[in-house]
Amino acid sequence: MRSLRSVIFQRIVIVAVVSFLLSGGFTYYYYETILIKQIVHDDQSKLRQTARQLQYMSDDITQFASSLIISNQLQTFYKTYNSADTFDQFLLLQNTFNFLNDYKGLRKEVSSFALVMPSGETFWSESKYDNYFAQRMKEPWYQNYASAGNQTSGFTEPHKIFFGPSTDSKTISYIVKVRNIEKISGSIIGELIVNLDYSDFDSQLSFGSTDLDGLVWMNNAGHVLFQKKPAQGLKVNFAQLLQDAAQLRTSETQHKTQGGYMLVDRMAGNGWKLVSFTSRHSLVDRASIIIYLLGIFTLTSTALILLLMMPAIFRITRPIMQLYHAMNAASSGNLQTSVAIHTGDEIEKLGVGFNRMIDQLRVHLDETIRYEQEKKEMELELLLTQLNPHFVYNTLNAVIYMAQKQGNDDIVRMVSSFIRILQDAVKMGGAQSFIPLREDMALLRDYLAIQSYRYADMFEVEWAIDDAAMDCSIPRNLIQPFVENAIFHGICPKDANGVIRLGATARDGRLIITIADDGIGIEDDQLASIWEEGESRRSPGLRHIGLPNSKQRIEHLFGGLAELRIDSTAGLGTTVTIDLPIQFQDYARRTG
């Protein structure tokens, strides 16, 4: 049996654990939502910062290129190159590229320049007189820019430029129309292409996408300038993300997509936009440290509360355990026990009540012992006043002697039977409650002998007793009440002689005793209430043990191991069946 302390502690632990799980679940859900929103907000701020830096780079490059196209050197080149002779063209081109290379040192991301004449003739600062760059301009990066409409300036898609047989550089070009600043109409006289090293943009965007699962840099035409793809383990359809990013409305800055969040930041002037993707898994992983710390704090707090409650539990249970041990001692017979509880609450009242109960039990027990002693003394005195049974036996023996002297054998036989029955009646109060079936049958023959003188020629007895059953032990005087009822209530009321059949068999560990008569039988309504009639059917027999008493006696001695059954048909007779477990003299003596 578990102690009260362990029960209380277990209940408190269960309540604490359930409370922790419920509060932890609510806290996790609540703070996870807040933390994810905060992380998304932080990512949006970081994306905005990256976009501003790109914007600054774009503005600086735009201002740089604008200052070049209005310079006297480039205006002179575009205005006079076509009309100059070959030597002047060479000298003009040489001076122009020297001028541009001097300015190139002001911008570390500038890798080269290209001058494009209205006729399409192109001069590249790295190789002035071949058509390499003109061939590169046939690629999608330039054609997409050219097909975008009447743009005066803009950035192209990333492309590669080879500076030698084995040297190439990933480049983004800034293209700006050159206008004649001396004319009001500002007619276009050429194009300036500023080739920019892509690594400067790449490093800036890579640093800005450190905590992001994906990042896309797109121009106003929807072409991808930079992309960081999500890891393969996230199982994200990146092509679908690009498609969703291209279709985002102008007003959208945050879009919940497949398994995460898509953030958008648009840059004014150049039409660029940065689109980031962060998976929910990454958001939860980044927020997990705070959630873990919160869980550890909650667990620590719960454990600390339980530790602080242990002294209180001991204070509460100590008087209860004291009362429990005192009750165990009292139940074991120690009525000298008592408890001293001073808690000032209901438990103290229980202790006072227990002490009072023990005192009352002790007084009551003393009174009971004294009463039993007085009762025994009275019974002894009463017994001394009763007639000595030996006087009765001596008197009956004198009657037998006189009957024998006169030759009256019937009186001798009847009185002898009566003496044996009387002697058995004296033994009924003794400790020997069980006797062999053989002895009970002998007493039953004495009883039938007496009844045969009283009811001469009214009944016959048929015996069917197995030898194996004769040594089986049965309760003393078990069969006689049923034989008595068979004579008085079965055979005597009918107008003809009757037969009583007595049987006993022993098999399969059971002793089956039957008492059957062919008397008047019992009506069904009377049979149902026969166990309740008791004294109303008392007959003038020598010793009457009613049927209800016989049934109660069997139930008391055998419990559910024995069965008593009466079967009767009105006008045909009655059969009583007694089904007992087989037992013998030694065992019966111990159980009796």
Instruction: Please tell me the chain's helix, strand, coil percentages from 3-state DSSP, rounded to the nearest 5.
Output: 55, 20, 25
Spatial separation of the C-alpha atoms in residues 279 and 302, rounded to whole Å: 34
Residue with tokens 């206008």: 179
Please tell me the predicted confidence (pLDDT) of residue 535: 43
Q: How far apart are the C-alpha atoms of 136 and 162, rounded to whole Å?
A: 10
Bigger pLDDT: 131 or 418? 131
Does 366 score more than 80 pLDDT? Answer: yes
pLDDT digits (tens, 9 = 90+) for 493-513: 888 899 999 999 999 999 999
Beta bridge partners, 434, equal 475
pLDDT in tens, 136-189: 889 988 888 888 777 788 888 898 888 766 567 889 999 999 998 888 777 889
CA–CA distance, 236 with 232 (Å, rounded to integer): 7
482 closest CA partner among 567, 417, 571, 575:
575
Could you tell me the two tokens for 534? 């008791």
| Residue 80: how many other CB atoms lie within 10 Å | 12
Architecture of domain 459-591: 2-Layer Sandwich (3.30)
In tens, the pLDDT along 53-89 reads 888 888 899 999 999 999 999 999 999 998 889 888 8
Q: What is the Cα–Cα distance from 437 to 338, expressed in whole angstroms?
A: 54
Rounded CA-CA distance 165/127 in Å is 13
pLDDT tops 90 at residue 120: no
Instruction: Give dist(CA 181, CA 349) in Å, integer.
Output: 110
CATH of domain 1-334: 3.30.450.20
Other beta carbons within 10 angstroms of residue 494's beta carbon come to 16
* Helix, strand counts (H, E) of the chain: 17, 18
pLDDT of residue 590: 47
3-state secondary structure of 160: strand
Write the secondary structure of 277-319 as one string of H (helix), E (strand) and C (coil): EEEHHHHHHHHHHHHHHHHHHHHHHHHHHHHHHHHHHHHHHHH
Q: What burial class does residue 15 get, using C-beta atoms within 10 Å of its C-beta: 0-12 exposed, 13-18 middle, 19+ buried? A: exposed
User: Region 315-335: what's the mean pLDDT?
Assistant: 81
d(C-alpha 438, C-alpha 268), whole Å: 124
Amino acid (1-letter code) at residue 281:
H
* Amino acid type, 347: I
Tell me the average pLDDT across 545-563: 81
The residue written with tokens 């703070």 in the block is: 31
How far, in Å, CA of 90 to CA of 562, rounded? 136
Task: Write down the domain spans for the chain.
Answer: 1-334, 335-385, 459-591
* 315 alpha carbon, distance to own chain's centre: 32
Cα(484)–Cα(481) distance, rounded to whole angstroms? 5
* Contact predicate 260/279, CB 8 Å: yes
